[in-house]
A and B are shown apart, each in its own frame.
Chain A
Amino acid sequence: MIANYRYLQASLFSFCIHAAIFMYIYGTFDANTSKTLLISKPLQVELKFELPSKDLKKQIPILPNINTTPSKQVSEDIVYSKAEDEIKTPQNNALMESTIANLLSEESEIEINNEQQEISMYAQKIISTIENAWMKPRNIPEGLVANLRLKIRSSGRITSAELIKSSGNIRFDNSALQAVRRVETFYFFDSIPKMLYDKEFKVIAISFNPS
């Protein structure tokens, strides 16, 4: 009887150690940092839009849907971000989903990291293309910000540009729209993988902020 008990103890102890090793390998003890990914959030966003809440009383002809939304000041000229209304899942669920996904496959983490970099790269290209086409109007007050929502085909052709936040200065708003009109097509879009395009680049929001 004593021999059995000892054996039982040993097996239990052994089991604990093995479990610990097992769980260690699969990261249960690690703190929740970069491993818990936000699957459907835009990445290098300095500016986040809330969904437009009210319409401006004044309507600019030809340019529909001018809405005012509160927004933070941004230091860069143009900032890319994915339009909010494409995001359907709230943050918590995404977290849960991704944690479970991580436990199952470590490789997908590395893929997502690469994806972030890719998104960042294309976002940068979008920004510089528009910047090159943008002529900031003269004699406008400082601190103006205008935001546009762009709908883009997979070919890179911009099918619609909407002013979602007016700067309050018509010439400034016009210059933003003119810049987008001039660009017309982002030729590098055909090198964006379809899945990435579908997820991130179908509808984007751009902020023009010269200060």
Chain B
Amino acid sequence: MKKNLLLVTLLLFPIFIYGELFLEITKGSEDPYKVAMIPFEGNTGIAKQLNNIMRNDLIRTGEFSILDEELLLPVKIINDELVYNDWKLLGIDYLVTGTIVRANNSLDINYEIFDIHKKRKVRSSKVFGIPNQIRQLAHYTSDGIYESITGIKGIAATRLLYVNETKDSKLISTYKLMIADSDGANEKVLLSSSEPIISPSWSPDGKRAAYVSFENGMAQVFIQEIATRKRKLVLKKDTQISSPSWSPDGKYLSLTLYQDGNAEIYILRLRDQTLTRMTNQFAIDTESSWSPKGNKILFTSGRSGSPQIYELDLRKLNSKAKRISFEGTYNAKASYLPNEDGIIFVHRSSDGLFHIALKYKKENFIRILTEAKMDESPSVAPNGNMVIYGIKEENLSMLAGFSLSGAKFKLPASDGEVREPAWSNFLR
């Protein structure tokens, strides 16, 4: 018994840092801003890495077409004014320059953005950081540049949770809960287990993760602190619990409990473990997801005979769940867009294939956004402009993503398969 316990403990102990998910951009958006980025100057050791990260961040958004470095002109400044015409001839919309300032305890980036059409500087900004946070600093800078030009908040400085599965020579699986930067870099293992892990979910402050682990012989929900790796069962019960979703204030977790032998949705107040039951009917109710304003939840219910999306208003007593998906025989795993004007979910089309779909609240039709066969687990970026999800290509599961403007990217695993991505909120 002790020996077995030790084995189990070792398996659960998070191991070393991994490598990187390789991010592959397969398509840009159709109407990109043409941006020229002059490599930021200063501290050459760090500069190259910073410049690469920033450049890749912006390309990844799909909204920018970044001029090739060889085509960059020397920046001509005459009497303190940037000479714009040369850039105009290249068809550039914006020029970005900057400097990296390294001091003893600080690493700061100054950047400036010039609007070539308007012929003036439109942004001058500084990002403060510390020397061992190069990647983060670069991401914050790219987000600043992205937001200055598009008006949309950038997601380069956000993170992803996902599950990695590898098989040994005897085809025995090891499951790992992973965390990485939104570009797949900086992968770390939060949990390694011989039992499946599913449904990772970020706390709104980005400090904790909730997920389902089968390590105790059945589905149970754990909460783990990312910084300390400390974890605990969210609720000690002899029944199966799954499908965790955090309320936007971080105080509640909606869950699926199987205590009646049937999947039903409950809300757990974390502070005192009070459970409130939200659904009570014969069919399956699961996959709950909170609205960004915290007053509604979406969930999947089989009560109409097949999985469909329902919405429950939490402010009303005895509120009745309202069905909101009507097209097709399988609609599940819905989540709100950040401004709540629509939902993203998994839809099975009439040919039996599963796709990621979008439905705007004010419209009564759905838009299919992906084209593979078994797309699943969509998670919306906090700026509402990108979605990451799971695909299966040649029998290998990997992550893929797209922007609403049509850019596409893929994130295959460096080893084994990856799935079940969850996109964090904006992080500070």
A–B contact (CB under 8 angstroms) = yes
Binding site for B on A (CB under 8 A): 60-63, 135, 137-143, 170-171, 173-175, 178, 181, 184
* Most B Cβ at <10 Å: residue of A139, A173, A178, A181: A139
Given contacts A62-B122, A62-B123, A178-B33, contact A139 B148 (CB under 8 A): no
> Could you tell me the dominant secondary structure of chain A's interface residues?
loop
Residue on A nearest B94 in the bound complex, by CB: A62
B261 at the binding interface (Cβ < 8 Å): no
- Shortest C-beta distance, A139 to chain B (Å), equals 4
Which 8 A-B residue pairs are closest in the complex by CB-CB distance?
Answer: A135-B31, A60-B151, A141-B360, A139-B404, A181-B117, A170-B151, A138-B406, A62-B122
Interface size of B in residues (CB-CB distance below 8 Å): 27
Contact A170 B31 (CB under 8 A): no
Tell me which residues across on chain A come within 8 A of B385, comparing CB atoms: 171
- Shortest C-beta distance, A155 to chain B (Å), equals 15
Tell me which residues across on chain A come within 8 A of B404, comparing CB atoms: 137-140, 171
Tell me which residues across on chain B come within 8 A of A173, comparing CB atoms: 151
Residue on B nearest A181 in the bound complex, by CB: B117
B341 at the binding interface (Cβ < 8 Å): yes
- Shortest C-beta distance, B403 to chain A (Å), equals 9
Residue on A nearest B31 in the bound complex, by CB: A135
Tell me which residues across on chain A come within 8 A of B31, comparing CB atoms: 135, 137, 175, 178
Whole-angstrom CA separation of A137 from B406 in the bound complex: 9
Tell me which residues across on chain B come within 8 A of A60, comparing CB atoms: 151
Contact segment of B77-85, B230-238, B362-370, B373-381 = B362-370
Tell me which residues across on chain A come within 8 A of B342, comparing CB atoms: 141
Other-chain residue from B29, B33, B123, B369 in contact with A61 (beta carbon distance below 8 A): B123
Tell me which residues across on chain B come within 8 A of A137, comparing CB atoms: 31, 404-405
* Most B Cβ at <10 Å: residue of A142, A143, A174: A174
Tell me which residues across on chain B come within 8 A of A141, comparing CB atoms: 341-342, 360, 362-363
Given contacts A138-B405, A141-B362, A171-B405, contact A61 B152 (CB under 8 A): no
Whole-angstrom CA separation of A61 from B123 in the bound complex: 9
Q: Which residues of chain B from 115 to 149 have a CB within 8 Å of any chain A CB?
A: 115, 117, 122-123, 147-149
Contact B150 A170 (CB under 8 A): yes
18 CB < 8 A contacts A-B: A60-B151, A61-B123, A62-B115, A62-B148, A135-B31, A137-B405, A138-B29, A138-B30, A139-B406, A141-B360, A141-B362, A141-B363, A143-B362, A170-B150, A170-B152, A171-B405, A178-B31, A181-B117
Contact A139 B363 (CB under 8 A): no
Contact B148 A61 (CB under 8 A): yes
Q: Which residues of chain B from 373 to 401 have a CB within 8 Å of any chain A CB?
A: 385
Whole-angstrom CA separation of A170 from B147 in the bound complex: 11
- Shortest C-beta distance, A115 to chain B (Å), equals 32
- Shortest C-beta distance, A66 to chain B (Å), equals 10
Tell me which residues across on chain A come within 8 A of B264, comparing CB atoms: none
Tell me which residues across on chain A come within 8 A of B360, comparing CB atoms: 141-142
Contact A139 B369 (CB under 8 A): yes
B241 at the binding interface (Cβ < 8 Å): no
Residue on A nearest B113 in the bound complex, by CB: A62
Given contacts A138-B406, A141-B360, contact A61 B147 (CB under 8 A): yes
Whole-angstrom CA separation of A140 from B33 in the bound complex: 18
Tell me which residues across on chain A come within 8 A of B123, comparing CB atoms: 61-62
Contact A174 B367 (CB under 8 A): no
Whole-angstrom CA separation of A142 from B342 in the bound complex: 12
B209 at the binding interface (Cβ < 8 Å): no
Given contacts A135-B31, A141-B341, A143-B362, contact A62 B117 (CB under 8 A): no
Contact A171 B358 (CB under 8 A): no
Whole-angstrom CA separation of A184 from B116 in the bound complex: 11
Other-chain residue from B93, B122, B362, B367 in contact with A139 (beta carbon distance below 8 A): B367
Tell me which residues across on chain B come within 8 A of A142, comparing CB atoms: 360, 362-363
Residue on B nearest A158 in the bound complex, by CB: B117
Tell me which residues across on chain A come within 8 A of B149, comparing CB atoms: 62
Contact B358 A184 (CB under 8 A): no
Whole-angstrom CA separation of A62 from B362 in the bound complex: 30
Tell me which residues across on chain B come within 8 A of A175, comparing CB atoms: 31
- Shortest C-beta distance, A149 to chain B (Å), equals 15
Whole-angstrom CA separation of A139 from B404 in the bound complex: 6
Whole-angstrom CA separation of A139 from B31 in the bound complex: 13
- Shortest C-beta distance, B357 to chain A (Å), equals 11
Contact A171 B152 (CB under 8 A): yes
Whole-angstrom CA separation of A171 from B151 in the bound complex: 9
- Shortest C-beta distance, A157 to chain B (Å), equals 11
19 extra interface residue pairs, beta carbon distance < 8 Å, beyond A61-B123, A178-B31 = A62-B148, A62-B149, A135-B30, A135-B31, A137-B404, A137-B405, A138-B30, A138-B406, A139-B358, A139-B405, A139-B406, A141-B341, A141-B360, A142-B360, A143-B362, A170-B151, A171-B385, A173-B151, A174-B151
Residue on B nearest A58 in the bound complex, by CB: B151
- Shortest C-beta distance, A167 to chain B (Å), equals 12
Tell me which residues across on chain B come within 8 A of A140, comparing CB atoms: 404
Whole-angstrom CA separation of A60 from B148 in the bound complex: 9
Residue on B nearest A139 in the bound complex, by CB: B404
